[in-house]
Homo-oligomer: A and B are copies of this chain.
Amino acid sequence: MSHDNIDLAEILRKRGYRMTPQRQMVLDAVCESGGHVAPERIYEAVNEKSEAVNRATVYRILKFLREIQLVTATASPDGHLLYEIASGEPHHHLLCRKCGADLELPNEHFSRLWQQLFSEFGFRVEEMHVTFQGLCADCQGGRASRR
List residues of chain A with CB under 8 Å of any chain B CB: 15-16, 67-69, 73, 75-81, 94, 96-97, 103, 105, 109-110, 113, 116-117, 121-128, 130, 132-137, 140, 145-147
Contact = CB atoms under 8 A, between A and B. Distances in A.
Contacts of A97: 126
B134 A125 contact: yes
Given A77-B73, A105-B117, A134 B126 contact: yes
Nearest to A128: B132
A73 B76 CA distance: 11
Contact of A145 (B67, B81, B136): B67
- Copies per assembly: 2
A81 B67 CA distance: 21
B124 A135 contact: yes
B147 A16 contact: yes
A135 B128 CA distance: 12
A110 B128 CA distance: 13
B123 A127 contact: no
Nearest to A139: B124
